[in-house]
């Protein structure tokens, strides 16, 4: 008597369907581990002694030495550097976000003459490296008396990151349904009210994406503040870290503690805005 293989096949079918999913998650976990290893290594090194790091750099600390963070904060003058970076970040990100949202909305939704040409000029800013305009910009800031002030970093920081912001927000505003804006205009709203009360709230995920990117670029900016802001009292944490490394090259635990302090604000901002950041990316915020 022949035995039917149908029950056996039905029993294996769920495993066959689940195998690709398991494989995808396995690949993602491998990439996640590769991504997390440097962070775990730095954070664990910040809580060890230099001797422990020399003996086994990848081992977990025998005793968590939280005093390393306190010492790095004190001797590295990170309170001042972090405060300066917050000032630069708020000014550059805030100013850049306001201008990028207004320009992006105008280029996406308003029937402006020559708006494609204006967009092309903005996109040229993405192609011009800072090194090519660094020297002329230095002399310009010197002539208008902005060198060695907060504005020496803030003004060029907004200008240099604005093309990316306009490109990002224009793509996001183009992805929003135009019927909503048309309905508001029919109800009597002027263009400013349509932008501020209707379209800008809908663009929240795109704005969160812009804020995260701009804050990350501003926080990690090195060459611009190194050239234009050389006074120690005005240095952001990116250039302050360089002088900290020069003073404590032999103390690797202290250096790891300084790196940990410097990266925590960016990580915290991403954790706060991660949901809207991911929404902005997956909603097609980079569409043109």
* Domain match, 202 and 128 both: yes
Q: What is the mean pLDDT of residues 149-171?
A: 92
* pLDDT value at residue 65: 84
* Domain match, 124 and 195 both: yes
DSSP state for residue 95 in the 8-state scheme? H
pLDDT in tens, 121-145: 888 888 888 888 899 999 999 999 9
Q: How many CA atoms lie within 13 A of 218 on its CB side?
A: 32
pLDDT in tens, 64-122: 888 888 888 888 788 899 999 999 999 999 999 999 999 999 998 888 888 888 888 88
Share of the chain above pLDDT 90, in %: 21
* Domain match, 101 and 145 both: yes
Domain holding 28, by residue range, is 6-45
Q: Nearest CA to 251 among 54, 79, 38?
A: 54
Backbone angles phi, psi at 7, to 5 degrees: -60, -40
Q: How many CA atoms lie within 13 A of 288 on its CB side?
A: 6
Q: Is residue 251 part of a domain?
A: yes
Q: What average pLDDT is seen over the chain?
A: 83
Q: What is the mean pLDDT of residues 219-244?
A: 88
Integer Cα distance of 211 and 225 in angstroms = 20
How many domains does the chain fold into? 2
Which residues, in sequence order, are CB contacts of 83 under 8 Å at separation 6+? Answer: none
* Domain match, 96 and 182 both: yes
* Domain match, 133 and 248 both: yes
pLDDT in tens, 32-79: 888 888 888 888 888 888 788 878 877 778 788 888 888 888 887 888
Q: What is the mean pLDDT of residues 206-210?
A: 87
Q: Is residue 234 part of a domain?
A: yes
pLDDT of 14 > 80? The answer is no
Backbone conformation region of residue 162, classed left if phi is above 0, alpha if psi is from -120 to 50, else beta: alpha
pLDDT of 6 > 60? The answer is no
Q: Is residue 241 part of a domain?
A: yes
pLDDT band at 150 (very low <50, low <70, confident <90, very high): very high
Q: Is residue 86 part of a domain?
A: yes
pLDDT of 10 > 80? The answer is no
Measured in Å, how far apart are the chain's first and last C-alpha atoms?
66
Integer Cα distance of 151 and 57 in angstroms = 41
* pLDDT value at residue 240: 86
State the pTM of this model. 0.80
Q: Is residue 34 part of a domain?
A: yes
* Domain match, 158 and 240 both: yes
pLDDT of 285 > 50? The answer is no
* pLDDT value at residue 79: 87
pLDDT band at 281 (very low <50, low <70, confident <90, very high): low
Q: What is the mean pLDDT of residues 162-187?
A: 88
Angle, helices 67-75 vs 78-109, to 10°: value is 80
pLDDT higher at 163 or 17: 163
Provide the H-helix boundaries in 113-236: 115-127, 130-143, 151-175, 178-186, 191-193, 200-202, 204-220, 223-228
* pLDDT value at residue 218: 92
* Domain match, 29 and 155 both: no
CB 140 within 8 A of CB 257: no
pLDDT of 220 > 80? The answer is yes
Place of tokens 């992805």: 175
CB 173 within 8 A of CB 203: yes
pLDDT in tens, 179-194: 888 888 888 888 899 8
* Domain match, 246 and 151 both: yes
Share of the chain above pLDDT 70, in %: 88
* Domain match, 132 and 40 both: no
Q: What is the CATH number of the domain that holds 168?
A: 1.10.3720.10
* Domain match, 198 and 270 both: yes
* Domain match, 82 and 41 both: no
Q: Is residue 51 part of a domain?
A: no
* pLDDT value at residue 165: 92
pLDDT of 284 > 60? The answer is no
Q: How many CA atoms lie within 13 A of 66 on its CB side?
A: 0
Tokens of 259: 């790196």
Tokens of 217: 């670029």
* Domain match, 189 and 241 both: yes
Q: Is residue 55 part of a domain?
A: no
Q: Is residue 71 part of a domain?
A: no
């Amino acid at each position: 008597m022949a035995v039917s293989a149908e029950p056996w096949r039905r029993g294996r079918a769920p495993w066959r369907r689940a195998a690709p999913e398991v494989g995808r998650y396995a690949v993602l976990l491998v990439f996640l581990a590769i991504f997390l290893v440097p962070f775990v290594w730095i954070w664990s090194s910040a809580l060890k002694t230099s001797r422990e790091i020399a003996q086994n750099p990848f081992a977990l600390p025998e005793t968590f030495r939280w005093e390393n963070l306190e010492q790095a904060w004190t001797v590295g003058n990170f309170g001042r550097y972090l405060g300066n970076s917050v000032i630069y970040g708020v000014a550059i990100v805030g100013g850049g976000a306001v201008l990028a949202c207004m320009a992006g909305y105008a280029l996406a939704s308003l029937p402006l003459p020559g708006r494609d040409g204006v967009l092309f000029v903005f996109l040229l800013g993405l192609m011009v490296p800072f090194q090519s305009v660094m020297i002329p910009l230095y002399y310009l800031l010197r002539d208008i008396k902005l060198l060695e002030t907060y504005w020496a970093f803030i003004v060029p920081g907004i200008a240099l990151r604005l093309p990316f912001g306009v490109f990002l927000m224009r793509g996001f505003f183009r992805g929003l349904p135009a019927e909503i804006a048309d309905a508001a205009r029919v109800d009597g709203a002027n263009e400013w009210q349509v932008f501020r009360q209707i379209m800008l709230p809908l663009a929240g995920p795109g704005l969160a994406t812009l804020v995260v990117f701009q804050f990350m670029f501003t926080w990690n900016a090195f060459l611009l503040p190194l050239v234009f802001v050389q006074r120690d009292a005005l240095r952001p944490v990116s250039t302050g870290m360089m002088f900290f490394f020069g003073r404590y090259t032999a103390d690797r635990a202290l250096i790891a503690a300084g790196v940990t302090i410097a990266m925590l604000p960016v990580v915290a901002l991403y954790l706060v805005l991660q949901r809207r950041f991911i929404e902005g990316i997956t909603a097609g915020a980079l569409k043109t």
